[in-house]
Structure 1
Amino acid sequence: MAVDGVHLLEHIQTPAIVVARGQVSFANPAAKTLLGSHIVNQDVRIAIRDPRAVSVILGEGGGNAKIGGLSVGGSVWEIDCKVLGPAERLVTLYDLSVQVSTARAHADFVANASHELRTPLATVLGYVETLMNPKAGGDEVTRERFLNTIRHEALRMQALVSDLMSLSRIEAVKHEVPGERIDMVALARETAGEFRAGGSVAVSANCETAFVSGDRGQLAQVVRNLIDNALKYGRKDGPVQVALEATPTDWLLVAVHDDGDGISPEHLPRLTERFYRADTSRSRAAGGTGLGLSIVKHIVERHRGRFDIASRPGKGTTASMMLPMRQD
């Protein structure tokens, strides 16, 4: 390969190697980082231990192939081979892991959403068909019980569709930094006031006001979701505490605590995954969609903040977010 071409490959971020007569004659820094510096002057079959890749590299006309595990387990790479001469090949490697992971996540999301909608829909259809039978539909007790179930499942579907639309709207603007001046102390007190009929919600703060740059509707949704979760999964009629603390480093901590049964440690890392539930039956019975904490995480990230959940079995749960404060 010409000297100018080698010099150019040295400066590109894409891993690239030159194979001459079956051996790696050149590897740019990106390729050495990926495969190791020792690959230079090594047989390509040792440098890249994948039969499909080797077949393309040592074949007559070049080409490309997808291989897995080149960098870490589960990674996906595309090998692109160009013929430079009778016994010389230029091989470039492209990391497709993010695209593949994103596509898989989208497919899983659609499958999970379809399943979550299909289950209550099947229940509704089954009960409606039963009520259409004159014998069952004519029994007032049976009819009322079935209609209550239909209403519960319809409300569950409505909540799921609402959360799906909310998540879609949040993702559409996730790269736009919100700039409205929001007093989080006032917003927390106002939002907590919506739950007077649902249980005891107390708000405390170490400051009179605490301003952040944000989207008022989304921040209210975060506080509302966290209080709602605390009331649903905390001790029945137990208190829910919302605490706001302005720190000396100009961050605002907003924490929502319940005194419920708590959550086992193995569930904590996955609670913000879409449709993940620590207790599936309890969540569905309480009307949960499995999307609430995922929505919270997306909103907090859009506001350049951090979200965390701390819990111990028997000691309750604390969901908290840290938001950067405004100084104007």
Structure 2
Amino acid sequence: MATKLKKSYKFALRSSLYITLTLSVVFVLLLHWIAAPGTVPDYVKAVLLFAAINFAICFFIIQFRVERFIYQRVKRIYDDVSLLESTSFQRQPITTDMATLTREIEKFAEGKKLEIETLKVREAYRKEFIGNVSHELKTPLFTVQGYILTLLDGAIKDKNIRKKYLQRASKGVDRLIYIVRDLDMITKLELGDLHLVYEEFDIVELIQNVFDLLEMKAAKKNITLTFDMNYQTPVMVRADKERIQQVVSNLVVNSIKYGKPDGTTEVSIENLIRNKVIIRITDNGEGIEKQYIPRLFERFFRVDKSGSRKEGGSGLGLSIVKHIMEAHNERIYVESVFGIGSEFSFTLEKIAYPGGDTGEVDH
């Protein structure tokens, strides 16, 4: 911009040249008509002096008028843009160069278009999220309300009915607590308010503890919880042990929930790179259709809208898993073939065993 002649200057120069040439020709004709013989040198000097003075005056007047004319109109554009709080415009001085102005306006328009599209996507997500939250809270609330109203209408006098209805109402309250607790955790994870306590622990032992906790739940569908091999030595990792246990629990619970009766949930631990391991949780359940996989980690998203609610839960498990892994700066993956089964896997930082062992996982 600085090395090039401003376009308004080119306009002023050319306009001044055209005016000067025109007036000079007129001036020459007038001098030729009125000049006395023998005054040619003075005649030439007068023409040259007139041309120079006329050119300078024309240039400055035209340039001043053009600059002022363009500046006033461009300033209106900048003032209008500043109302939209465009930081890119506020950082730059007002220019009267039309090419520069056009580029800035186009850049501004593209940015605003992208911003509007992003807002539309967020608005659609917000509406869907509010609808999902409303639906998830409505079911247990109405359940609790129904049982309590029945008791208040006189059923409380029957001891057996009273106990049964209070137990069912309690289950509805527990479901509400699950939803609120999980929503609170996701909010903290997204805001970065959830503090992770890193420690070194054996991931094999942690997975075995999860198996023990969920053994009865798996037994109801006769699902076997197993490792892919017998891990003779510990596999030490560094992470927040409590949160990783929550990740493993959520993934194993999902494999049981959507697994086929008499099926298997298998966990394997493999080396990914030198300082990483990948934990795979594989089941031979119903699998997930391809179009649903990109949305699996959304809040309240359910592939089976009816069946999954019968199994309970807040509908936020996979979303929490994703946020916990992102808080660890780790990755989570999913592969699934509908009708065959699914595999969820996540990475963790691997460390050497106590005593200087390399911590290799043999497969």
Q: TM-score, normalised by structure 2?
A: 0.61
Match in the other structure for 1:32: none
Give the match for residue 313 of structure 1.
Answer: 338
- Structure 1 contact 65–78 (Cα < 8 Å) conserved: no
- 1:181 match: 200
Query: In proportion to residue count, which structure has more helix?
Result: 2
Query: How far is the alpha carbon of 1:165 from its aligned partner?
Result: 2.4
Assess if the C-alpha contact under 8 Å between 1:274 and 1:290 holds in 2.
yes
> Which segment is superposed worse, 113-122 or 256-265?
113-122
SS state of the match for residue 196, structure 1? helix
Aligned AA (2:80)? G
CA shift in 2, pair 1:243/1:86, >3 Å? closer
Report SS of the residue matched to 2:340: coil
Gap runs ≥5 in structure 1: 7-18, 21-54, 67-76
User: Do structure 1's residue 298 and structure 2's residue 298 form an aligned pair?
Assistant: no
Aligned to 2:25: none
Give the TM-score taking structure 1 as reference length: 0.67
CA contact (8 A) 1:241 1:256 kept: yes
1:224 to 225, 246, 249: 249
**1:63 corresponds to 2:81:** yes
Paired residue type of 2:284: D
The 2-side partners of 1:237 and 1:151 are apart by: 31
Matched, 1:119 2:129: no
Query: 1:76-123: CA deviations, max 9, x gaps?
Result: x99958993789766462557397379645675455334422332123
Q: Which runs of 5+ in 2 are unaligned?
A: 9-72, 219-223, 354-363
Bigger share in strand: 1
Q: Which residue of 2 aligns with 1:289?
A: 314
Residues 131 and 143, structure 1, Cα contact 8 Å, conserved in 2: yes
The amino acid that maps onto 1:62 is D
Offset of residue 217 of structure 1 = 0.8
Aligned residue for 2:94, secondary structure, equals strand
The secondary structure found in structure 2 opposite 1:84 is coil
Higher RCO structure (Cα 8 Å, ≥6 apart):
2
- Alpha carbons of structure 1 residues 218 and 126: separation in structure 2 relative to 1, 3 Å: same
Alpha-carbon distance in structure 1 between the residues aligned to 2:158 and 2:254: 37
Match of 1:84 in 2: 94
Counting matched residue pairs gives 271
Distance 2:272 2:93 in 1: 61
Who is 1:3 aligned against? 2
Whole-angstrom CA distance in 1 between matches of 2:291 and 2:253: 23
Q: Which of these two proteins has the greater Rg computed from alpha carbons?
A: 2
After TM superposition, give the deviation of residue 236 of structure 1 in Å: 2.8
* SS of corresponding position for 2:217: coil
- CA distance in structure 2 between the aligned counterparts of 1:179 and 1:151, rounded to whole angstroms: 36
Q: Would the alpha carbon gap of residues 64 and 79 (structure 1) be closer, same or farther in structure 2, given more than 3 Å must change?
A: farther
Do the aligned partners of residues 56 and 235 (structure 1) sit closer, same or farther apart at CA in structure 2, a change above 3 Å counting? farther
What does the per-residue CA deviation read over 1:106-153, in whole Å, with 9 as the maximum and x for residues that have no partner?
Answer: 67545533442233212321332122112x555667656644542332
User: What is the DSSP-based 3-state SS (H/G/I as helix, E as strand, rest coil) of the residue aligned with 2:216?
Assistant: coil
Residue in 2 aligned with 1:192? Answer: 211
What's the secondary structure of 2:301's corresponding residue? Answer: coil
Residue 261 (structure 1) aligned to one of 283, 286, 302: 286
Counterpart of 1:171 in structure 2 is 190
Q: Is residue 206–residue 245 contact of structure 1 (8 Å, CA) maintained in 2?
A: no
Residues 21-59 of structure 1 show CA distances to partners (whole Å, capped at 9, x for unaligned) of xxxxxxxxxxxxxxxxxxxxxxxxxxxxxxxxxx99975
The one of 193, 203, 207 aligned to 2:227: 203
In the TM superposition, residue 65 of structure 1 has moved relative to its aligned partner by 7.1
Q: Is the 8 A contact 2:239 2:348 kept in 1?
A: no
